[in-house]
Each structure stands twice: as structure tokens, then as C-alpha cells.
Amino acid sequence: MTEPSESLARGVQVERGDRGAVIGAGLTWLSTWSLRILLIALGLVLVGLLVGALWTIVLPILLGIIIATVLRPPVRWLVRHKVPPALATLLVVLAALVVLGGLVALIAPQVANQSDEIVAGVTGGIGQVQQWLTSGPFGLGQGEIGAVLDSITKQLQASATTIAGTVLTGLSSVASGLLNVVLAVVLAFFFVKDGPRFLPWLTAVSGQRAGAHLVAVLERAWRTLGGFIRTQALVSLVDAVFIGVGLIATGVPLALPLIVLTFFGGFIPIVGALVAGALAVLVALVTKGFTTALIVLAVIVAVQQIEGNVLQPILQSRSLGLHGAVVLLAVTAGGGLYGIAGAFLAVPVAAVFAEILRYLGEEIDKRAGLTAAEPSAEPTGEQEVAERPEAERTAQEATRETGPEDPPR
């Protein structure tokens, strides 16, 4: 007599030796999970479409949260020294704007003074290319080169309307970007000033049990986001300093703007450093020649190797816990969907999403009995406080503390 064994399908019993029943149970299990995965995928697609439709609102909010992670530590320090939260936030925001304004004031004169050198270098480079085409392996005559240039000129003239439209679109994008930055700074001010009030409000709206999980997830997301910004700032600063030393030593013009571009480009892992380095090599090529460009390229490659093999494994693995392939795919997807802003925000969003998945995995392990501290199923009455999971009690206690020590949400 055969003994019954539980199949893959929940609650379905099949007899041993009955292949058809086993296959049917497996197909039932597969179809159930396929439907669940399809529904989850559909939900993610709808969320993506909603974010795309509300991108003009979502982008300033995300930028404001990132700026808040930078501004919150000095604001907390001032509040600890008896400065009112609103005044402390205002002072820190104004100080940050002064620093950025001073940086622009330093860069603008260099760009204006050295633009002639850049133009002269480009003109000389075009002349060298013409000479190489004339006397090089192609052996083109001046008439043939002139015909090619005339053809290019006519093509550009025929595309004048398209080019003008592209320029206007670019100017519109720049204006929209400046507006988003201003709105993000204003939002960051409110996030930093009123952030500690968010968790108690969220817990009151969602309830103690759901609020405890939301508080835990948001705590982790905030720490992950802040860790990414601080770590990436340190890595970008090291890149900018060493590459800047190489640019200054070789006499490449626009060294300070290139240093600043290298620093901010470092916040877009892999892609940002590549673009900033390529631009530095291009400027060196058209202004100082091939040898200087090779020296600059060697410096950039050496610094990138130090960053990739020393700094990032030590620092970013602790703050993000993301594989390099995941980072690259996130940057590619973010840039393809939402442009430069998407590439900049892709890694922080991926890191926060990974932290949420880790929290869900921990909660699943607790309920599955795979961890030592397994909470009771449904604590009721006077046993609820004693049997409540420790993380939930800690989160509820944190919601009662609305002082300046709490990080903003």
C-alpha cells in the first residue's frame, strides 16, 4: 500500500507512483507562481509609467532627498549646540549655496579666459588633419578636400532648422534642469527641517504593526542612501584631486572646470568617470598635442585603477553591497529611461531597492523559522508587548522620539 506524500502544490495530496498526479501538481504550482510573477511585473510596469508621467515632480523630490542626506549632519550638529532647527537648516543651506556660487565664480573666468586657447587648438588640430589627409596615406589633393568640406557645409546648411531646434531643446533642458535644482534645494530645506516628524505621522496613519515595518525599511534606506553619498563623494574627491594634479602639471587649460566635472561625474559610477576622463584627454589633445594627451590618459587610467581596485572594494562594498554588474546595468537603465538625471539616480535607487529586498528576506527567514529570534504568530492581549519582535518595539519607541537626533525622512 502506498503512502501519501505532499506534492509541490499546496494542500494537494498525491499517491506515490502516480506520475500524472505529480506532474499535474507541479504544473499547478508553476502556473500559480507564473501568475503571481506576471502580476508583480505588471505592477512594476505601472509604477514605472506613473513615475515617467510624474517625472517633473519625482525628480525634484529625489534630488531633494539626496541633498538632504548631505545637509542633515551639519544641521544635526548645530541643533545639538542649541541652534533652533529652522535657523540651523537655513544657515546650512545658505552656506552650501555660497560654496556652490563661489565655485561657479572660480570656474567662469577660467572658461572665458582660456576659450581662445581652446579655439586655437581646435583650429590647429583641423589644420593638422588637413595636412595629414593631403600628405598621408590617403594622398588627397586640396581640391578633393575642398569638395568634401563644401559637401559638409551644404549638409549643415540643409540641416540648419534641425540644428536650431536641437539647440533650442538643449536650452530648454538646461532651464528645466536649473528649475529642478532650485525646487530640489527648497524641498531639501523642508526635508531637513521637518524630517523627524515624518516617522511618527507615518506610524499614526498606517498603524503600529505596519508602521513598524515601514519605519525599519525607511531607517535602512536612509542609512544606505547617506552611506552611498558620503562614500561616492570621497571616491570622487580622490579622483578629482589626483587627476587635477596631472592636468595642472601638464599645463592643460580649463584644469579647474575639468576637476569639478570629474568630481561630479564620479557620482555616476563607471560612466561618469569615463566621460569626464575622455573630455580631459580631448582638451589635452586639441591644446597641447598628442604626447600630452597620452600623459593625461595614463594619469586617468592609473587613478581609475586605484579607485576600482582599492577604494571601491573597500568603501562601496560596505555602503552599498551591490555587484559591479548590477551597478552598470542600473546606470544603463536609468540613463536610457531618464537621461543624465536617471543615470545619476540609478545607483542610489538600486541600493535602496536592494536594502528593501534584504529586509524582506530577513522577515521571511524569521517567519520560516530560519533565524533564532522567531516572533510569535499573532500576539494578543497583555502578551503582545512581551512577544512583539524586538525590531518592532525598537521602531515604535523611535517614533515617540521626535527630537533633532532622528534622521530626516
Question: What pLDDT, on the 0 to 100 scale, is given for residue 55?
Answer: 84
Judge whether residue 246 has pLDDT over 70.
yes
Question: Mean pLDDT over residues 93-115, rounded?
Answer: 78
Of the pLDDT bands very low, low, confident and very high (cuts 50, 70, 90), residue 198 is confident
Question: What pLDDT, on the 0 to 100 scale, is given for residue 25?
Answer: 85
CB atoms within 10 A of CB 151: 10
Domain boundaries, the chain: 60-376+386-400
Percent of the chain with pLDDT over 70: 65
Of 323 and 237, more confident = 237
- Give CA–CA dist 71/65, Å, rounded: 10
Q: Please name every residue paired with 6 in a beta bridge, in sequence order, or none if there are none.
A: 13
Of 407 and 206, more confident = 206
Instruction: Tell me the per-residue pLDDT of 45-68, one tens digit each, with 9 for 90 and over.
Output: 998 889 888 888 888 888 888 888
Judge whether residue 359 has pLDDT over 70.
yes
Q: What does 127-187 look like in DSSP terms, one character per residue?
A: HHHHHHHHHSTT---HHHHHHHHHHHHHHHHHTHHHHHHHHHHHHHHHHHHHHHHHHHHHH
Q: How far is CA 13 from CA 24, 29, 30, 37, 144, in A?
A: 11, 13, 16, 25, 84
Of 315 and 23, more confident = 23
Judge whether residue 271 has pLDDT over 90.
no
Half-sphere exposure of 22 (CA within 13 A, CB side): 7
Of 14-18, 116-120, 306-310, 362-366, give the range with the top mean pLDDT.
362-366
Question: Mean pLDDT over residues 124-133, rounded?
Answer: 62
Q: How many helices, marked H, and strands, marked E, lie in the chain?
A: 14, 2
**Least confident interval from 105-109, 190-194, 290-294, 351-355:** 105-109
Mean of per-residue pLDDT scores for the chain: 74
60: left (phi over 0), alpha (psi -120 to 50) or beta: alpha
Question: What pLDDT, on the 0 to 100 scale, is given for residue 40?
Answer: 92
Q: Helix (H, G, I), strand (E, B), or coil: what is residue 323?
A: coil
> Does the predicted model carry a pTM greater than 0.85?
no
Question: What pLDDT, on the 0 to 100 scale, is given for residue 156?
Answer: 58
Question: Mean pLDDT over residues 162-171, rounded?
Answer: 54
Question: What pLDDT, on the 0 to 100 scale, is given for residue 38?
Answer: 95
Q: What does 200-257 look like in DSSP terms, one character per residue?
A: HHHHHHH-HHHHHHHHHHHHHHHHHHHHHHHHHHHHHHHHHHHHHHHHHHTT-SSHHH
Percent of the chain with pLDDT over 90: 6
Instruction: Tell me the per-residue pLDDT of 283-339, one tens digit each, with 9 for 90 and over.
Output: 888 778 888 888 988 988 888 887 766 766 666 555 566 776 777 788 788 878 877
Of 229 and 399, more confident = 229
The Cα angle at residue 91 between residues 85 and 97, in degrees rounded to 5: 135
Of the pLDDT bands very low, low, confident and very high (cuts 50, 70, 90), residue 36 is very high
